[in-house]
Chains A and B, each alone.
Chain A
């Protein structure tokens, strides 16, 4: 019979694992970065999970997994329980690693369903039965998105009640009917943890004992608010924070979680490197996701990215501004004659936005181009100044032919103006430069676009990203060189 422990509750981060360099399998765990990350989350969490899915256990050698757990135990030093991810594909390996973890002194193990070869349910059951014999308290881990098998409630119920050392289940499926079945069958007998960041508040309110989360690397304090508010019966507060974090966690859960968390931490000045291959920057975690994640981390009340002073050098004058700065933000921005930024936002396909943005001095090439094109071809080409502060020329990439296309381009214009307004507010376009610089926004609206609100919002996103990228000089040459091999242009291939 499994049992419920006092300590298995609350918020546990599924720690990412910083690696020393790139994709070299022998490179090992970056101990200093790992310790720094643990110190960052520790004050806000009830336990620690090294080497979970977010920790990229499946890309680590056994030695590295052991090393990560040792570092975590040492740094945590008994302040909170440490639950080590010890799941492997085969029973043999899983038992061996769980035995090691037991001897190393962890509080428990988080054991993922055996994956890849899709064993039958009774084979899954017997796998965990073998783990049970190790004698270390352990948590069953259901993550069908990765493992390929979704626990059936009767398998989970059997494993939780038949075994000696099961203390809980972590369900990362996001399948609330499954969680409800777990509450029905085993609530109070073992701990039930939610592992899907998009439904944390719903699961806690329904009766979950805690959460093991990828996003708890980034915002452990916010999750602690949700957890405590739920315990206190303050559903309104809990719902508020879940909803405020929904976009952030959707990006983390669905857009390459390990890389998303790592890049988020890097933007927060906690450098933890990249994910190991085959996960790559700009892969499942797309560049537009990076920009959006950054904006979410800047939100008031989240405050993970702080403002810093940046000087914009216009040549004949310097304007100081405060912007939400990442380690990539230059402290002085020059070369304002002509800056190029690109933004892309979607889906859906027909409502996607693509913006080529030029930002430059009014009396430079950008300003001259605006004046000349308006004078010579403005009407004919559908060119329009949509903002005077800063002066902004909106150009349709694709000629507008129908009334519907013209109507939807108005939505694009509204999105571009929203991006400008918010960039003025957040300091990237400070008041002091608005009379000196001008913008050309060349915006693509698909001829078959339909959903007006999406056209507007995608153009807002693409423009906001493009403004920042133009000023910060991104992508950098280093990023281009690093990412060139894997780049996949969507229109390069035949259907």
Chain B
């Protein structure tokens, strides 16, 4: 496969465009810092792509980004995003890019008015024959709501300055079909972070990625390993960044990239309205997940934690609920404890059960009005609107310092606790009278750095089952 443009290969970040909070002006200094952060590991830059929020940029701003890119790129090629819904505008952008000194123009399928295949061809034909700059076609159906038609690409590849196609669809059947029909004439770039390795193995020459400004060195290694036929090692690396790549592709795009960069200490500003820095397409829960993954990759330090699993006499572990050993004895409260799992997945459940009209009933009601700060109690549910019986509160034993820790309690811990209770009901371990007359409170000690939800679910289930068995043993 002849490479028409020798530099058109390797790893290119689709740079985000930093905006200043409130004013939403382009933050040129932040852009320069971002480029300096990524440059050592990349083969070139891409300005004002989809990740760069190009639809929200003016023509002047896009030109300025290319100029800054060239100033900072240290001789590496700069590809200018020149996408527009109208042909007229795309030509103007490509002219600007040419004048500024860009190496190529990346031009997205014309969007919004759904032009016909003929219209799409004409769009690219007009640009290619008007502006003397290498053109990279760009397929991204997730935002354009259509594919760049294969037969159109097949013909566009005949134009002398159409040099490549960037395929961000992630649909490898499309990539392979295009390689079959145009691979002899143009180069291919993968633009979907989740399928970099298979696309490289399938024959693309490089990548233009949102995540290539977050972990470009990982992609540089994957690229090199595939070239050297070291597929096993490349697979391991791809898998290491799979979840983050998925988040960037599906749950927030450039906004998620900006959040990741900020967590890493590279302030790439905020997005422009209507996008929100967090709480829109990128929800808080996902941002917590990004932090967790960056910790795993070693991109940000892990906070050291110092804590102990409760180990005093069982009846004395419920002091936070004002349930003392004396109250346990006086009101015949049932207590049980269980421990399960290894290392980060080790969980301890300390359970107290008893009548609604004992001090435990007061403790139960009080917890829902007067929570211990950072230790908000949750009703135990199999899933929303499927509350277990007897009513059970789940109380984190350790203060929840961040959403990522809370996420481990809300989902896996809560549902595993619920399942253990319902299984105990079915087994007859919990007596039918308790269903109406009792309440329970479970203290859950989960490692502050736990992050494997699946393993955690099983640890909590096992620990809770032990605790229930112990608490209700006396009644059998």
Report if A286 contacts B (CB, 8 A).
Answer: yes
Could you mark each residue 378-396 of chain B with 1 if its beta carbon is under 8 Å from any beta carbon of chain A, else 0?
0101111111110100000
Question: Inside 8 A of B356's CB, which chain A residues have their CB?
Answer: 335, 337-338, 365
Decide yes or no whether B295 CB sits under 8 A from chain A: no
List residues of chain B with CB within 8 A of the CB of A349: 283
Give chain B's interface residues, CB within 8 Å of chain A: 243, 246-247, 251, 276, 278-280, 283-286, 289, 356-357, 361-362, 364-366, 368-371, 376, 379, 381-389, 391, 407, 410-412, 414-415, 418-419, 422-423, 425-426, 432, 435-437, 439, 453, 457
When A365-B356, A440-B368 are in contact, do A481 and B422 touch as well, CB less than 8 Å? yes
Docked complex Cα distance between A475 and B251 (Å):
34
B279 touches A447 (CB 8 A): yes
Beta-carbon contact of A489 and B370 below 8 Å: no
Give chain A nearest CB distance to B54 CB in angstroms: 25
User: Does any Cβ of B come within 8 Å of A6's Cβ?
Assistant: no
Q: A350-B283, A377-B370, A473-B436 are contacts. A338–B384 as well, Cβ < 8 Å?
A: no
Can you list 16 pairs linking A and B with CB atoms under 8 Å apart?
A335-B437, A337-B357, A368-B366, A369-B362, A369-B366, A369-B369, A373-B366, A376-B370, A383-B369, A447-B284, A479-B386, A480-B422, A484-B382, A484-B423, A487-B418, A492-B457
Say yes or no for A326: interface residue by CB 8 A criterion.
no
Interface of B is mostly: helix
Contact between B411 and A490, CB atoms less than 8 A apart: yes
The reply to whether A395 and B381 form a contact with Cβ atoms under 8 Å apart is: no
Instruction: Assess A338 versus B387: contact at CB under 8 Å? Given A383-B369, A448-B284.
Output: no
Residues B386 and A287 in contact, CB atoms below 8 Å apart: yes
Closest to A447 in B: B284
B368 touches A356 (CB 8 A): yes
- Measured CB to CB, the residues of A under 8 A from B are 282, 286-288, 335, 337-338, 340-344, 349-350, 354, 356, 358, 360, 364-366, 368-370, 372-373, 376-377, 381, 383, 393, 395, 397-398, 440, 442, 447-448, 465, 469, 473, 475-477, 479-481, 483-484, 487-495
Task: Tell me if A495 and B365 are in contact (CB < 8 A).
Answer: no
Name the prevailing secondary structure of the A interface residues: mixed
The interface residues of chain A lying within 8 Å CB-to-CB of B410 are 491
List residues of chain B with CB within 8 A of the CB of A370: 369
Chain B residue numbers with a CB within 8 Å of A354 are: 384
Q: Assess the B365–A286 pair: CB atoms within 8 A.
A: no
Closest 6 CB pairs of A and B: A448-B279, A491-B411, A369-B365, A489-B415, A487-B382, A365-B361
On whether the beta carbons of A489 and B411 are closer than 8 Å, the reply is: yes
Chain B residue contacts of A341, Cβ below 8 A? 387
Closest to B403 in A: A447
Among B286, B357, B412, contact of A492 (Cβ-Cβ < 8 Å): B412
Task: Find chain A residues with CB under 8 A from B364 CB.
Answer: 338, 365
Rounded to whole angstroms, the CA-CA distance of A349 and B384 in the bound complex is 13
A286 to chain B, nearest CB (A): 7
Q: A477-B389, A484-B382, A492-B411 are in contact. Are A338 and B365 (CB under 8 A)?
A: yes
Given known A473-B436, A480-B422, A491-B407, contact A372–B361 (CB-CB < 8 A): no
In the assembled complex, the Cα of A335 lies from the Cα of B355 at a distance in Å of 11
Chain B contacts of A338 at CB under 8 A? 356-357, 361, 364-365, 391, 439
CA distance A197 to B243 in the complex (A): 41
Cβ contacts under 8 Å, B357 to chain A:
337-338, 364-365
Q: Are A287 and B411 in contact (CB under 8 A)?
A: no
